[in-house]
Chain A
Amino acid sequence: MRPIPGRGQRHELWGLVLVLPVLALLLAFRFWPMLQVLRLSLYRYDLLSPPRFIGLDNYTRLVHDPLFYQSLTATGYYVAGTCLPLWVLSLVLALVLDSMPFGKGFFRAAVFLPAIVPSVVLPILWRFLYHPYGLVNSLLNSVGLPPVSWLSDARTVIPSFIVTSEWRFIPLFMVIYLAGLQSIPDEYHEAARVDGASAVQRFFTITLPLLRPTIGVVVVTSVILTAKSLVLALLMTNGAPGGASRLLSLFVYQNAFIFLKLGYASAASVVLLAVLAIFTMLQLRFFRPLE
């Protein structure tokens, strides 16, 4: 909008006034803490005595901390293990749902339930399902397979997290894909069908290319969502067994609030912040806010 000539720009400044409340809150509860996390990462701080400046010591210790590496590995395993299948499975499910002749609403509602479950219920419910005598092992038993100690075995704990997360996130990303699929005009498919293209050809030449922006959103969002994940690990295993499921955010939480090493925890937060910063930038590219 162009300001009306001669009437001055005075009313335009109202825009700034309208943004001020949000801006003040973001400054106090987002930007200020962000600066603090960078600052605290250079200090030794236990909440009880005043912070003491120690330079980059926290970072050098982090680099030499096997628990930190264990945590990074677990996080990478969890993020990659969840996201890669998620991208494909939620698309497949969206395609299935999109092509259903009837019962779409019912199917979507049934499939969508896991996305509605409160995030505190998710780990509690799945801990119960993964219980040594729980439903998962009972189902294995009924087909003659031996029980698995899902959450207390270092080899199966992250895969268990992954299954739970697929259950939780597939419906969510399916809905995002569905929105993308429905924005593709039917005429494209009609035209291709008239030209004799098979369903598979149509998928690779029409659906997939036109779905590119949606795929971008799904990829970036799912990585952010899983990389910062804390509540799942906190309530499902609290890092057990032997730290095998101590995701990075849980590493930060435990160091800060259990061991009261707030400086050290902040240094680990900075690593998490760097990862999220990269993916948020990518996310903003898909937003294209200034267009």
Chain B
Amino acid sequence: MLLCAGIAAAFAVPIYWMVSTSFRQPAEVFSLPIQWLPAHLGFGNYSSAWSQYDFTRFTINSMVVSGCVTAAQVLLASLAGFGLAKYRFFGRDVLLLAILATLMLPVEVIMVPLFTTVQGLGWINSYQGLIVPMIADAFGVFLMRQFMLRIPDDLIHAARLDGASELRIFFQIAMPLSWPAAATLAIFVWRETWDDFLWPFLVTSDLPHRTLPLGIALMQQNFTTDYGRVMALATLATIPPALVFFLFQRAFVRGIALTGLRG
């Protein structure tokens, strides 16, 4: 039991140090011997860090981008997953493998041509540049397809015999039966987009289109030694994903277990 407490502490201490530093005055940050508790509990670092740049705007940008990517990806991945799970058309299995092969193409690998492609579209420093290239992802398609394989064929046949259109079958039969998978995917995509640093970093260079992670990096770069304020921002940025984790722990862990199947 003591061992477990020790292990838990090792993982928790850096987080604690981040939060506690966010309350410290510059003189307290590096005091020796270690002062585990900050001298005061004031939010001065928070308010002054927040107003250093337009963090309200960065946050709104992050919300817009992650909201749009999540909604679009869940919808399109569900459509594609349904198509791949419940229809037989020529080349379907090859298509699935081709889609899955894009898992080997994360932004890190194709950043140069992805940047030039988006630049060619005139989408640098734009919301469409931040959003559109991130919508399609093989993982979501695969997740939805696996789940939708379990929808009984008879249900679909019956609806078709009753004259339901294919889109109606999707929205009124497939989606209602697949919401646990869709919810897991939504949480997961939201987290990943909210978290993403690399793509917004490549595709934006002006302040108005920056997302929250870029704002934090900017703050850290220009106010390197201002640890209290940087840690205040780091703490703030950790709160939304932490809230989502505690609220949707089961779906979140399931998402992580599933994303373990992903690079």
Contact = CB atoms under 8 A, between A and B. Distances in A.
13 contacts: A3-B88, A4-B157, A28-B117, A33-B105, A34-B113, A36-B112, A37-B110, A111-B8, A138-B30, A139-B34, A141-B33, A228-B109, A235-B197
Interface string B88-102: 110011011101111
B220 A124 contact: yes
Interface string A236-272: 0000000000000100110011000010011001001
Contacts of B76: 21-22, 25
Interface of A: 1, 3-4, 9, 11-19, 21-23, 25-26, 28-34, 36-37, 40, 47, 93, 96, 100, 103, 107, 109-121, 124-126, 128-129, 131, 133-135, 138-139, 141-142, 167, 170-173, 175-176, 178-179, 217-218, 221, 224-225, 228-231, 235, 249, 252-253, 256-257, 262, 265-266, 269, 272-273, 276-277, 279-281, 283-284, 286-287, 289-290
B213 A119 contact: yes
A175 B253 contact: yes
Contacts of A142: 33-34
B190 interface: no
B147 interface: no
B230 interface: yes
Contacts of B245: 112, 116
B113 A40 contact: yes
Per DSSP, are chain B's interface residues mostly helix, strand or loop, or mixed?
A: helix
B32 interface: yes
Contact of A116 (B96, B196, B238): B238
Interface in B187-215: 194-198, 202, 213-214
Given A121-B237, A228-B263, A284-B101, 7 more contacts: A9-B88, A15-B86, A23-B99, A119-B195, A179-B257, A230-B108, A283-B261
B153 interface: yes
Interface stretch (B9-17, B39-47, B175-183): B9-17
A22 B11 CA distance: 39
B157 to A, nearest CB: 7
B109 A276 contact: yes
Nearest to B238: A117
B232 to A, nearest CB: 12
Interface of B: 3-4, 7-8, 11-15, 17-18, 21, 30, 32-34, 76-77, 79-80, 82-84, 86-89, 92-93, 95-97, 99-106, 108-117, 132-133, 135-136, 138, 141-142, 153, 156-157, 160, 166, 170, 194-198, 202, 213-214, 216-217, 220, 227, 230-231, 234, 237-238, 241-242, 245-246, 249, 253, 256-257, 260-263
Nearest to A127: B220
A229 B107 CA distance: 11
A98 B258 CA distance: 19
A57 B101 CA distance: 28
B46 to A, nearest CB: 15
B100 A231 contact: no
A111 B34 contact: no
B117 A113 contact: no
B262 A22 contact: no
Given A29-B132, A266-B112, A19 B8 contact: no
A96 B109 CA distance: 37
A120 B116 CA distance: 24
Nearest to A290: B93
Contacts of B133: 25, 28-29
A15 B87 contact: yes
B89 A15 contact: yes
Contacts of A269: 109-112
Contacts of A13: 87, 89
A26 B132 CA distance: 11
Contacts of B220: 124, 235
Interface centre among B110, B117, B153, B194 (most CB of A within 10 A): B110
